[in-house]
Amino acid sequence: MLLRFILIRLRARNILRPARVLVETPENETKPGVRGDSRVKRDNNLSGVDRRDFIRMLSGSAAAAGMAGVSAGCAGGSTTDKRVIVLGLDGMDPTLIRALIDMGRAPNFKKLAEMGSFSKLGTTMPALSPVAWSSFITGMSPGGHGITDFVVRDPKTYMPVFSIFENTEPDVVFSVGDVHLPIKGGGPVNRRHGTPFWSYLTERGIPAWVSKIPTNYPVDDTATVAISGMGTPDLADAYGLFSYFTSDPFEDYKGMEGGTVQYVDINDDVVHANLLGPVNGLKTLQDDSRDPYINTTKIPFTAYLDAQADGVRLDIQGQTILLKRGQYSPWVSVEFELLPIVGTVRGNARFLVKEIGPHFKLYVTPINIDPVQQPDGVVYPAELGAEIARDIGAFWTKGLPCDTKAFDYKVLNDEEYVGQAELVLKERMALFDHLWSRFDTGLFYFYVSSTDQDAHMMWRNMDETHPLHSEADPRFAGYIMDLYAEMDKLVGKVLPAVDDNTLLLICSDHGFAQFGRQFHLNTWLRDNGWLAVKPGAEKKPETSIFDIDWSKTAAYGIGFNALYLNLKGREGEGIIEPDKAGEMTTKLKRELHSVVDGETGKKPIAKVYDRDEMYTGPKVGEMAEMLVGYTPGYRNSSTSFMGATGSEIINLNPWAWSGDHSMAKDLVPGTLFSSRRINAKNPDILDLPVTILDWFGIEKPSQMEGSSIFRTS
Ligand SMILES: [Zn+2]
């Protein structure tokens, strides 16, 4: 409960902070040390907005931890001897797995395809994990479950909002002096609508084990056993914040998101610094204009550098850890004090010494919520966190485990990213072994994030046609295919379980494509008269969402694919009359379809989907009128994603994040393997929950839109 309150306080603080203060915060200002000699550098701004604050403002952060107690379990004796095993391999691309089978490197996938079926799987538009997996969970299209992108906007304020969960205020707060204790209510609440398909199983006494499925945060307690997935924050931030310590004052991380940089001094081979934790929401927040981390909890640590041994001794909270340069540490448990005796919050992090001399460079992963101390929201039932930890040790609880931001901003290089990716995969396979060895009957759903995250980050290493292929480390050109081959071993573990009573489905939510060039949707809208910025802002090289002149803006983009009309009666300052919406949509679609990239001669936009032609359901009215489907090779830029405009409409994608799937849905289909031959000609992700319920003899619930893939439709 105390930790839930941190989230709420964070959110309240940032909402109260005027936007212009965020915008005017000087970038890269060196701040006074938080303790000792270390100097803290503000991890600055994207589009003039501090992303860390911004994300908190959107979604709240953190440790949605759980002192709130454990909900009653719904387990019990099973009423079935049937089983459905689902491996959710996020982003597994049908073309790549086909190629691996043809190369003879995926014998188990091949066997499964011969036993039953292998096909493409239709996905949602947008073809994004939170959207598509929400459709898998509920059997509803985005118009029903309401998760329509990673980020949506509050129609009244236009502010981007994290789509997966939101924080709610406590009903009762007890305040004494500058201490504020939540007494009742409040905390993170999942934003997905509709009933999860597994609850139809458990209400009939059929066990349902659901591990790491995206958008399941806080974890749903209608499953028998569940671990939260994509959307789970770290201790300090909804997306996760890494820490980086360097003694090199010339290292410049201007514009960096997703982490903090602290510049440290080396004195006689010793470095003193502070590891930053969550903002302390139990205390009245102080003015942080001089020190951005004045309200942040901290743990001091000391690093003793030993160049001869090529390692570092790290002393932190009574623990001594020996770090070999270039090797990740095991999980280190760290505890941040909120109030003496009353409240602490514990997390786990891994340390990586990148360099000892001439400069000291230390990377620390985002601090993951400890599933033993704070199981609420992260595992269900609560005892599960301790049970797993006893067997495999601490584990990544953050929804997107691998640190893609640190790689994008070159805090990690290819080899260091791969080192982390391998740890994530190894740990996930250990988690599989733990759960699989205990599973008996019912549903077993197990999710792997690596097939998505690593394809995003290692695509350009593999793809010779990527414009920045030559910058990527060639040693990892085969990484994605090797990863798929590892997945074949996982298939080999479950394949022997298939029998007349046991169905095996392997699916992905979308495929993958190259992302070599970025399309700045909002810049295009501005340059073509659909979006206007306030007087004076035209001169800025890059504007933020705060610069938009809503009284003159007809359309705007927020999120990866959403293109909204500034609709009267829905948007806070809408100008488009609802009866003109159809006409505007048609015109805008036509113009976007005709855009050509002068450099390549290609059309960056393959298809703009009309929301009303695709979706029905109670949430359709809130959705964007148009969903922009990009051509492989292109994607919306990450600045445009947050409502910014810049000087160029199309340019090179500079990031390690070089593969993507926010293209037109039909160009990035998912993958489906079934141990039983399917009858559906064009299976769709919406069909899978219906198929699973059907296997257990449960009729299709009225909310679901698909059909069983085994029945002819
Ligand atoms: Zn992805």
Q: Is residue 278 part of a domain?
A: yes
CA 512 to centroid of ligand 1, rounded, Å: 8
Assign 576 to helix, strand or coil. Answer: strand
Q: How many whole angstroms separate alpha carbon 6 and alpha carbon 259?
A: 19
Confidence label for 281 from pLDDT (cuts 50, 70 and 90): confident
The single-letter code of the amino acid at 528 is: N
Confidence label for 283 from pLDDT (cuts 50, 70 and 90): confident
Confidence label for 52 from pLDDT (cuts 50, 70 and 90): very low
- Looking at the structure, do residues 464 and 346 belong to the same domain, yes or no? yes
Q: Tell which wins on pLDDT, 69 or 701.
A: 701
Q: Is residue 520 part of a domain?
A: yes
Give every CB contact of residue 179 below 8 A, 6+ residues apart in sequence: 282, 283, 284, 339
Answer whether 61's CB lies under 8 Å from 238's CB.
Answer: yes
> Residue 599 is part of which domain span?
516-662
- Looking at the structure, do residues 527 and 655 belong to the same domain, yes or no? yes
CA 13 to centroid of ligand 1, rounded, Å: 31
Six token digits for residue 531: 């979006």
Q: Which of 301, 351, 316, 295 is nearest to 61 (CA)?
A: 295
CA 637 to centroid of ligand 1, rounded, Å: 15
Q: How many whole angstroms separate alpha carbon 412 and alpha carbon 556?
A: 34
Give every CB contact of residue 157 below 8 A, 6+ residues apart in sequence: 572
Six token digits for residue 406: 């640190």
Residue 176 has a pLDDT of: 82
Q: Is residue 91 part of a domain?
A: no
Q: Helix 479-494 to helix 94-102 angle, to the nearest 10 degrees?
A: 80
Q: What is the dihedral of CA 688, 689, 690, 693, to 10 degrees?
A: 120
Q: How many whole angstroms separate alpha carbon 645 and alpha carbon 713?
A: 46
Residue 13 has a pLDDT of: 32
For the stretch 627-673, pLDDT in tens is 999 999 999 999 999 999 999 999 999 999 999 999 999 999 999 99
646, 662, 678 - which closes a domain = 662
Helices (H), 653-695: 687-695
CA 661 to centroid of ligand 1, rounded, Å: 7
For the stretch 503-522, pLDDT in tens is 999 999 999 999 999 999 99
Q: Is residue 490 part of a domain?
A: no
Residue with tokens 């009128």: 625
Q: Which of 523, 551, 530, 547 is nearest to 641 (CA)?
A: 523
For the stretch 129-172, pLDDT in tens is 999 999 999 999 999 999 999 999 999 999 999 989 888 888 88
Per-residue b/e over 118-142, b at no fewer than 16 CB within 10 Å?
bbbbbbbbbbbbbbbbbbbbbbbbb
Q: Is residue 260 part of a domain?
A: yes
Six token digits for residue 537: 């802002």
Rounded alpha-carbon distances, angstroms, from residue 393 to 318, 364, 677: 20, 18, 39
Measure CA of the first residue to CA of the last residue in the chain; give whole Å: 49
CA 595 to centroid of ligand 1, rounded, Å: 25
Q: Is 552 left (phi over 0), alpha (psi -120 to 50) or beta?
A: alpha
Percent of the chain with pLDDT over 90: 79
Q: Is residue 346 part of a domain?
A: yes
CA 507 to centroid of ligand 1, rounded, Å: 14
- Looking at the structure, do residues 567 and 656 belong to the same domain, yes or no? yes
- Looking at the structure, do residues 432 and 329 belong to the same domain, yes or no? yes
CA 456 to centroid of ligand 1, rounded, Å: 7
Q: How many whole angstroms separate alpha carbon 136 and alpha carbon 192?
A: 12
The half-sphere exposure of 255 on its side-chain side, counting CA atoms within 13 A, is: 7
- Looking at the structure, do residues 291 and 394 belong to the same domain, yes or no? yes
CA 291 to centroid of ligand 1, rounded, Å: 35
Sheet holding 562-565, edge to edge: 555-557, 562-565, 626-630, 605-610
CA 689 to centroid of ligand 1, rounded, Å: 21
Stretch 589-614: mean pLDDT = 97
Least confident of 154-163, 285-294, 388-397: 285-294
CA 659 to centroid of ligand 1, rounded, Å: 9
CA 128 to centroid of ligand 1, rounded, Å: 7
- Looking at the structure, do residues 359 and 432 belong to the same domain, yes or no? yes
- Looking at the structure, do residues 647 and 520 belong to the same domain, yes or no? yes
For the stretch 662-696, pLDDT in tens is 999 999 999 999 999 999 999 999 999 999 999 99
CA 103 to centroid of ligand 1, rounded, Å: 25
Q: Tell which wins on pLDDT, 493 or 61.
A: 493
For the stretch 339-369, pLDDT in tens is 887 688 999 999 999 999 999 999 999 999 9
For the stretch 534-562, pLDDT in tens is 999 988 999 999 999 999 999 999 999 99
Confidence label for 175 from pLDDT (cuts 50, 70 and 90): confident
pLDDT at 1 over 50: no
Q: Tell which wins on pLDDT, 579 or 76.
A: 579
Task: Tell me how many domains the chain contains.
Answer: 2
CA 269 to centroid of ligand 1, rounded, Å: 42
CA 404 to centroid of ligand 1, rounded, Å: 11
- Looking at the structure, do residues 430 and 529 belong to the same domain, yes or no? no
Q: Is the peptide bond before 94 cis (omega within 30 degrees of 0)?
A: no
For the stretch 103-129, pLDDT in tens is 999 999 999 999 999 999 999 999 999
CA 448 to centroid of ligand 1, rounded, Å: 12
Answer whether 588's CB lies under 8 Å from 555's CB.
Answer: yes
Q: Calculate the average pLDDT of the chain.
A: 89
Least confident of 283-297, 301-315, 462-476: 283-297
pTM: 0.89
662, 682, 697 - which closes a domain = 662
CA 431 to centroid of ligand 1, rounded, Å: 21
Q: Is residue 499 part of a domain?
A: no
Six token digits for residue 670: 């998912």
pLDDT at 44 over 50: no
Residue 282 has a pLDDT of: 84
CA 123 to centroid of ligand 1, rounded, Å: 13
For the stretch 261-273, pLDDT in tens is 999 999 999 999 9
Give every CB contact of residue 232 below 8 A, 6+ residues apart in sequence: 217, 369, 377, 378, 397, 398, 399
Stretch 77-87: mean pLDDT = 91
Answer whether 136's CB lies under 8 Å from 120's CB.
Answer: no
- Looking at the structure, do residues 242 and 390 belong to the same domain, yes or no? yes
Residue 179 has a pLDDT of: 81
Q: Is residue 224 part of a domain?
A: no
Confidence label for 178 from pLDDT (cuts 50, 70 and 90): confident
The half-sphere exposure of 246 on its side-chain side, counting CA atoms within 13 A, is: 14
CA 585 to centroid of ligand 1, rounded, Å: 28
Answer whether 67's CB lies under 8 Å from 376's CB.
Answer: yes
Q: How many whole angstroms separate alpha carbon 417 and alpha carbon 275?
A: 21
Q: How many whole angstroms separate alpha carbon 496 and alpha carbon 324?
A: 41
Helices (H), 439-537: 450-462, 479-494, 521-527
pLDDT at 377 over 60: yes
The single-letter code of the amino acid at 20 is: R
CA 560 to centroid of ligand 1, rounded, Å: 11
Could you give phi then psi for residue 576, rounded to 5 degrees? -90, 120
Residue 251 has a pLDDT of: 96
- Looking at the structure, do residues 470 and 521 belong to the same domain, yes or no? no
Stretch 224-250: mean pLDDT = 94
Six token digits for residue 522: 């909002």
- Looking at the structure, do residues 521 and 434 belong to the same domain, yes or no? no
Q: How many whole angstroms separate alpha carbon 556 and alpha carbon 610?
A: 15
Confidence label for 475 from pLDDT (cuts 50, 70 and 90): very high
For the stretch 15-24, pLDDT in tens is 222 222 222 2
- Looking at the structure, do residues 248 and 335 belong to the same domain, yes or no? yes
Residue 674 has a pLDDT of: 98
